[in-house]
Amino acid sequence: MRRRILTGLASLALLGPAAPHAVTGAADVAPEEAMALTSAIDARLGAIVPNVFQEAKATYLDDYGLVVTAEVALAQPRNPFVGPGDPELTRSQSRARLDALQEGAVEVLGERVPEIDGLLPEERVTLVIYVINPNPVDLPDLPAQLVFSVRKRDADDFRAGALDDAAFRQRVGARED
């Protein structure tokens, strides 16, 4: 046992110290900047949907930018003790929340992305919102995820007034999957 431990320590000593991680051609996003963005996203999601299952989490990818994920449900799950509920009401409320979620995502990207100084102009912030469907019978066509992506340069131009609201919304890549 001692021999294995000593052999392992000797081999580590021969390898030398590990090289620090080098970021090639990219700026660093400060944790405070990412936390400010995720807090803003959480606040916006919490104001729109009844259930936020996973708060926003962000990670920086070299040569791409910041990827933020969150998980929500647009409707409450059915409760067998309350009754079946109105499927049409569930559909209309979920559709309204989905529209508000899309609107809120674009707004928060336009407000908060320009504040992230660690991103290069060509890098992106991508927001992926996973949508849980607790009532698939009532909501058969609910998308599984919403993806919003914007370049830092476009968000900066929007903040500076070089892009109007409609032009910014066109530059934000938004899709339902």
**In this structure, are strands 173-176 and 145-151 parallel, antiparallel, or unpaired?**
antiparallel
- State percent of the chain over pLDDT 70: 85
pLDDT tens sequence across 10-58: 443 433 443 332 233 345 788 999 999 999 999 999 999 988 999 999 9
Distance, CA of 85 to CA of 71 (rounded, Å): 24
Q: Residue 149's closest CA among 164, 132, 119?
A: 119
The better pLDDT of the pair 25, 110 is held by: 110
17 vs 60, more confident: 60
CA-to-CA distance for 150 and 140, rounded, in angstroms? 29
**Averaged over 147-172, what is the pLDDT?**
97
What are the angstrom distances between the C-alpha of 102 and each of 48, 95, 165, 173?
10, 11, 14, 11
Residue where the block lists tokens 């409760």: 79
Mean pLDDT computed over 122-135: 96
Sequence ranges of the domains in the chain: 27-176
pTM of the model: 0.82
